[in-house]
Structure 1
């Protein structure tokens, strides 16, 4: 292929969002420096650090204001609040990482989205919410309802926009890898979990500091635990659930050929997220007592249950899609027929990867490569049939097929009924020492406490019976 044809192929692949094949002949530092994503990651890390430092200086130390002093969270409250906030953030993050298993994102994408929600989204939302609350308070002119107006009318839109920005960035830069609604839910959930993590630190720190400065009413730790029960246990799903609406809308738009759907679906998802958030804040602000409990039981929990059912249905749907698209390749003989069913079942894929660990060598890496390549091949076929990718996908298709053929010989496709644990016992188990006995020798062991006769005594066994020599002159007496 000439240079012009190569450049034209690269432009066509970039237009369809297809990833460029890494030149492994180049050293790793050079590949990193010339990678666009590397510099995007560096810029994002600097932005995250700046937002986190600015937010810390704004809310943690006490601030001098006209006419007095504004009490901050305090340096002693931040580690305690972070510990309680992590009890919710860590399991939620692991849950969303586990959710997207057919074609998972790279770990650094998950990390960047989580940190965006934790650093950038919280800092941006804190500035806008504070500005809006101050203006609504002035306009309200002493109206008691002004305290809740910002939480109901401003915060949902601002916070959902701040969290959803990370999703739109991923959709723009890596739209080819956004293959399903599960991908959108996983990314949105991580952004929401990161936002909730920092927001919970702020809420926990405020109640802890307030209880510490109010002597004789309630212990700071007890007040913090009460708020943790409300925010960290009963309503832990709030922010991830809201932002998931935007993720689903973006996934529908990216997987559709219609330009109208590509515009309307993300906007509809964002509006659904904001309205859900607004409803939640309205109930938490204006509803009290038994009515709040009924709202939680008959509105919040059913919404969570509906999302869980939707996710389970999507898991089965993605399995059917992979099975149908790999069948297309199996019919023409490009993919073995025995690969279709194992690649469409998560449990079978996990068992195959587990058993490959006990074969040693290149089996684990080959199994992982085959699973990822065949999954990407299925989604690539689906994109081509939908008209989302033009003939530029043919080159990517050839690359994936060659990668499958190269790694399939050492990979585990269909797992056995039981893994071969013998190799692990050989590698890591203790080998039982076989005693090396000395060759038998007469008269054997003896001495004090020995069970054999001492040297010089009569032997045991068949040799113990001894006969005298025959006397040829012997005869009966008396003859």
Structure 2
């Protein structure tokens, strides 16, 4: 029963967090199969290989130094941040290279990175809750570790990996080739550095004081990233508002549809009006296409016709023109 509870409390909160990250992407939802694949990658591939590599390298350091303390500190402060951020980042990198059409904005980078990291956290949390909670102190230990892993440090992995996602997104949206390499590398370095600081704080400041300092460090970072995400969402709204003006003048969409395309409240009202009816999916798809068209037009302005942007814009316009009369 202890193991089952560990799995439940390890995975369920992270799945709830993942749904929240998915919800944040208000205008242009990412494909669920890609997000599901990213979560599984984090939970199985990244977590599995990280455990194996961290263990082997830690054992190697112990063999060379004969010091368990040195092995633990080196693994926690250097090896784990490096290996784990690279392995988590590989899922985002795969989407970036093989599904570039779905990688349209900084928010997309954060979403893919966050979902991957939450999958990793789910497996890691299960391991910690069971081994260092239940096996050491029974149910009191289990619930103590649940509080620590979910409440105190629940957002740590998405926070670190988000910076690599941001770096890839910035690279996706710049025509400058040196910056295309610089942004992802910088994002990965920031991810590793933040992860390393978090893991090093308990060693430098032992006891309750270390927990307090670590919690303040983590929550300060999460709040800062949350403010940045709010800014990114607002900027995406303005992008849609600017790019779709032309569609109104061309008669592809109506003024009412245009206003609903960048207003969450207006769009939700439109969706609620047809909740449970066949038209609901049509409306949802229509506004998804509006956001995709806005992003593709923005990319065309910045990047030119890379990846066939002009062809995609034409296809999206044609599809919107067909659906527009169905949306009243």
- TM tier relative to shorter chain: over 0.9
> Relative to 1, partners in 2 of residues 1:388 and 1:113: Cα closer, same or farther, differing over 3 Å?
farther
Is the 1:167–1:188 contact (alpha carbons within 8 Å) kept by the matching residues of 2? Answer: yes
Residue 144 of structure 1 aligns to a residue whose secondary structure is helix
Moved over 6 A (4+): none
C-alpha distance after superposition, 1:165-196 (max 9, x if no partner): 00000011111111111111111111111001
1:206 and 2:143 correspond: no
Match of 1:289 in 2: 207
C-alpha distance after superposition, 1:301-337 (max 9, x if no partner): 2111101101111111000000000013334444433
- Correspondence for 1:234 among 148, 152, 156: 152
C-alpha distance after superposition, 1:46-77 (max 9, x if no partner): xxxxxxxxxxxxxxxxxxxxxxxxxxxxxx54
Residue 175 of structure 2 aligns to a residue whose secondary structure is coil
TM-aligned CA deviation for residue 208 of structure 1: 4.5
Distance across 1 between alignment mates of 2:90 and 2:52? 16
- Correspondence for 2:57 among 132, 155, 158: 132
Residue 201 of structure 2 aligns to a residue whose secondary structure is helix
The CA RMSD over aligned residues, in Å, is: 1.9
Distance across 1 between alignment mates of 2:9 and 2:281? 38
Q: Which has the larger radius of gyration?
A: 1
TM-aligned CA deviation for residue 205 of structure 1: 1.7
1:119 and 2:119 correspond: no
TM-aligned CA deviation for residue 253 of structure 1: 0.6
Match of 1:5 in 2: none
Distance across 1 between alignment mates of 2:133 and 2:255? 61
Distance across 2 between alignment mates of 1:102 and 1:238? 26
Match of 2:29 in 1: 104
TM-aligned CA deviation for residue 297 of structure 1: 5.1
Determine which structure has greater relative contact order: mean sequence separation of CA pairs < 8 Å that are 6+ residues apart, divided by chain length: 2
Is the 1:343–1:371 contact (alpha carbons within 8 Å) kept by the matching residues of 2? Answer: yes
Residue 104 of structure 2 aligns to a residue whose secondary structure is coil
1:371 and 2:296 correspond: no
Is the 1:256–1:388 contact (alpha carbons within 8 Å) kept by the matching residues of 2? Answer: no
C-alpha distance after superposition, 1:148-168 (max 9, x if no partner): 211111000000011110000
Residue 69 of structure 2 aligns to a residue whose secondary structure is coil
Distance across 2 between alignment mates of 1:367 and 1:255? 29
TM-aligned CA deviation for residue 203 of structure 1: 1.2
C-alpha distance after superposition, 1:346-401 (max 9, x if no partner): 2222221111226x4x4213212321222111111111111242594333223222
TM-aligned CA deviation for residue 293 of structure 1: 4.3
Alignment: residue pair count: 328
Distance across 1 between alignment mates of 2:302 and 2:266? 28
Match of 1:330 in 2: 248
Distance across 2 between alignment mates of 1:207 and 1:277? 21
Structure 2 stretches lacking a partner, 5+ long = none
Match of 1:321 in 2: 239
> Relative to 1, partners in 2 of residues 1:370 and 1:142: Cα closer, same or farther, differing over 3 Å?
closer
- Correspondence for 1:383 among 277, 299, 309: 299
Question: Structure 2-normalised TM-score?
Answer: 0.94
Distance across 2 between alignment mates of 1:152 and 1:142? 16
1:346 and 2:271 correspond: no
Residue 389 of structure 1 aligns to a residue whose secondary structure is coil
Residue 91 of structure 1 aligns to a residue whose secondary structure is helix
Structure 1 stretches lacking a partner, 5+ long = 1-75, 212-217, 413-479
C-alpha distance after superposition, 1:258-300 (max 9, x if no partner): 1111111111111110000000000133322353244235422
> Relative to 1, partners in 2 of residues 1:235 and 1:297: Cα closer, same or farther, differing over 3 Å?
closer
